[in-house]
A = this chain, B = another copy of it.
């Protein structure tokens, strides 16, 4: 397997030249566009990796999956889906128009920015600090990595320049979707996006989801099977921005990408996969990471359909 992963990484490294690293904040633009790595973690507790699988990156939108799990654990699905819908959309991830034109006025799903900000606002905690602490603690548990933490430089950049997300959040405040203090909610959101991890960490999150909510390394159930199912389904239909449909057709498994270059994949009953390649395509997905996943999906027949 390690051999296969290495071959796939080498075969696709040239794709890193065809994308561009995110530049909307200075910290992200410092990423090395040539990086490309993959890690696989099976539900039988085996780990494989190749390429730059030990390089840390900020998980960005991958954190939306983690926040959704906590929000569902804290509130149950009825409350969560009364505030954010579960419909895929061909709008861009930071679209504000759809909030205005849809009826009822709620974000279309928890994988676009507006929906993810709502999701974060639903996590329990007496203040923002407590919320982010719970998010970090949960992330450390499902990655089996006590060193997981926030990259504060990225966080500060996000906070200073995150005016588009502010617009989304204040819009939702104005229509009653967000109840608390907007800046406090956004602070949690900017921090969760700035959590740093490696492919290996991401692969373990995928393995837990693939294993229906049970950590493969110690048999502990961290989320109910139904929560795992909901999260994987929403990843499948909505996880790759406005290329989610194409990802489902071409790769055929639940995935979630982030503009930091990471992609989280959960192959039901088989394995989690973490991919990292900061050069992005025009829709914000890791360009080489996507190609790596196409190859591994074909080689291992991963598609669930």
Chain A residues proximal to chain B, CB less than 8 Å: 85-91, 95-102, 108-109, 163-164, 166-171, 173-174, 182, 229-230, 232-234, 236-238, 242-246, 248-249, 252, 254, 268, 303-305
Among A169, A237, A238, the most chain B Cβ lie within 10 Å of the Cβ of: A237
For A164, what are the chain B residues with a Cβ–Cβ distance below 8 Å? 170-171, 174
Closest to A86 in B: B245
**A interface secondary structure, majority:** helix
Given known contacts A164-B170, A233-B305, is B96 in contact with A246 (CB within 8 Å)? no
Q: How near does chain B come to A135, taking the closest CB pair, in angstroms?
A: 23
The answer to whether A170 touches B163 (Cβ under 8 A) is: yes
Inter-subunit contact A88/B244 (CB<8 Å): yes
Query: How many angstroms between the C-alpha atoms of A163 and B242 in the bound complex?
Result: 28
A234 CB contacts on chain B under 8 angstroms: 245, 249
Q: In whole Å, how far is A298's beta carbon from the nearest beta carbon of chain B?
A: 11
Q: Name A242's contact: one of B87, B246, B305 (CB within 8 Å).
A: B87
- Report chain B residues within 8 Å CB of A248: 86, 233, 236-237
> Could you jot down 10 A-B contacts, CB within 8 Å?
A87-B242, A90-B91, A95-B100, A96-B171, A166-B167, A167-B169, A229-B252, A230-B249, A234-B249, A237-B245
Q: Which of B85, B230, B245 contacts A88 (CB 8 A)?
A: B245
With a 10 A CB-CB cut-off, give which of A99, A236, A244 has the most chain B CB atoms: A236
A95 to B96 Cα, complex, angstroms? 11
> In whole angstroms, what is the CA distance A118 to B164 when docked?
16
Q: Assess A98 versus B90: contact at CB under 8 Å? Given A163-B170, A245-B109, A249-B230.
A: yes
- Residues of B near A237 (CB, < 8 A) are 88, 236-237, 244-245, 248
A173 in contact with B163 given A243-B87, A252-B229 (CB within 8 Å): yes
